[in-house]
Structure 1
Amino acid sequence: MLFADDIVLVAESDLEVQSILEVWWHRLESVSVKLSRTKTEYLFCDFGGPSNPSPLALARTFISICSDFRYVGSLVQGNGEVDRDISHRINAGWMKWRQVTGTTCDPRMPFKLKGAIYKSVIRPVILYGLECWAMKKMDEKRLHLVEMRMLRWVCGVTRMDKVRNKCIRESLKVAPVTEKLEGYRFVLVWSCEEER
């Protein structure tokens, strides 16, 4: 996969990765493009059980093995999980939420406007890249809890006030995040079917 100046090489065995890496290195060198040996990383995906990865070398320099790496905004983990990527997206959502708290937590602002700000500014930050996530129910629950915490804060309501989630969502006109997850996945499947 190519993106700007990032390259991802995928293969089934260490030897295959080594040969592909050497081919890329020689081709890049032939057009005077240097491949950084210090930035190049090797992610071993251990889906079939415990095994030891063989070290890879590029021009007699060993490439460091990492447990995860960031590629095009997503965190790819060697064990196939997405929990760290979801945690990163949640943190990014909270950072964006803090930027707009002056508006969203202002009691003079109408709830409809607060809901629109949440839907157009905060939620897209949290859900960025979810088309690639293989989520578990636990991950969906985490996203739901974060969303409800934000929405309660926007409304000025705590859990002690015993206001139902449904009432909060209706006042802000915000659909549950789990429905949005299914919508995003449906659009991805539909667009893939259209290309065929």
Structure 2
Amino acid sequence: MRIPDHLTCLLRNLYAGQKATVRTGLGTTDCFQIGKGVPQGCILSPCLFNLYAEYIMRNAGLEEAQAGIKIAGRNLNNLRYADDTTLMAESEEELKSLLMKVKEESEKVGLKLSIQKMKIMASGPITSWEIDGESVETVSDFILGGSKITADGDCSHEIKRRLLLGRKVMTNLDSILKRRDVTLPTKVRLVKAMVFPVVMYGCESWTIKKAEH
């Protein structure tokens, strides 16, 4: 990763010998040593996790792997946001290969994949998966980056979902929008600022049918 030695040393010293207590309704526990992790609310936590994730993906060889989906001439096999990772491949065998590489490299640095939270979505028939004796759930849709992705690529479900979410925001604003002491321009600004972004989120990637126009 080419991280300067002095930064590595600073981080190691920062977290060395950490101790904590737990406060309950009955009082506070005795101090105990923290073997892994960072203090609760530590502002370095997201940055350190991103370094971990990048290290794992590089060691897993995902950048050089042939498995993936070609988009605009570029091979993509993983999408990441915080601790959520989506692996993509054109075949079941390729996907399994990518997943096992990530799993192995994660375990080397003390991280474990959550099989319970893992989902598989395929555009065609797929066999049942088991990892370490645990079944992996197969789904026809899931939420990625706040948008609903479906196996058939149909955007109508996401469009309907966005309209419903926008309607909820309108309901929450109902008492303000009905007030006579609030001017019409102010109400328009409120709708544009609070409703439009919710309804139109991710619309750049929608494929709209005639019925939805």
TM-score (norm 1): 0.64
Q: Distance in 2 between matches of 1:130 and 1:19?
A: 33
Structure 1 vs Structure 2 CA RMSD: 1.4
Q: Is the 8 A contact 1:18 1:57 kept in 2?
A: no
Which of 126, 138, 146 is the matching residue for 2:211?
138
Report how far residue 56 of structure 1 moved. Answer: 2.6
Q: Distance in 1 between matches of 2:134 and 2:94?
A: 18
Partner of 1:82: 155
Partner of 1:40: 118
**Which amino acid counterpart does residue 126 of structure 2 have in structure 1?**
P
SS at match of 2:148: strand
Which of 179, 189, 208 is the matching residue for 1:116?
189
Partner of 1:97: 170
Structure of greater relative contact order (alpha carbons < 8 Å, 6+ residues apart): 1
Partner of 2:200: 127
Report how far residue 11 of structure 1 moved. Answer: 0.4
Partner of 1:19: 97
Q: In percent, how many aligned pairs have the same letter?
A: 26
TM-score (norm 2): 0.60
Q: Distance in 2 between matches of 1:132 and 1:33?
A: 33
Partner of 2:83: 5
Unaligned runs of 5+ in 2: 1-78
Report how far residue 132 of structure 1 moved. Answer: 2.0
Q: Is the 8 A contact 1:18 1:56 kept in 2?
A: no
Size of the alignment, in residue pairs? 135
**Which amino acid counterpart does residue 9 of structure 1 have in structure 2?**
L
- Bigger CA radius of gyration: 2
Q: Is the 8 A contact 1:28 1:34 kept in 2?
A: yes
Q: Is the 8 A contact 1:14 1:56 kept in 2?
A: no
Q: Distance in 1 between matches of 2:80 and 2:206?
A: 20
**Which amino acid counterpart does residue 134 of structure 1 have in structure 2?**
T
Report how far residue 133 of structure 1 moved. Answer: 1.6
**Which amino acid counterpart does residue 28 of structure 1 have in structure 2?**
S
Q: Which has the higher strand share?
A: 2
SS at match of 1:57: strand
SS at match of 1:80: coil
CA offsets, 1:153-185, max 9 Å, x none?
Answer: xxxxxxxxxxxxxxxxxxxxxxxxxxxxxxxxx
Report how far residue 13 of structure 1 moved. Answer: 0.5
Q: Distance in 1 between matches of 2:132 and 2:104?
A: 10
Q: Distance in 1 between matches of 2:132 and 2:206?
A: 35
Report how far residue 59 of structure 1 moved. Answer: 2.2
**Which amino acid counterpart does residue 17 of structure 1 have in structure 2?**
L
Q: Which has the higher helix share?
A: 1
SS at match of 2:126: coil
Partner of 1:164: none
CA offsets, 1:27-74, max 9 Å, x none?
Answer: 11111111011110100124xxxxx21223322333111011111101
Does structure 1 residue 30 correspond to structure 2 residue 108? yes
CA offsets, 1:67-101, max 9 Å, x none?
Answer: 11111101110110112211221111111111111
Which of 122, 130, 139 is the matching residue for 1:57?
130
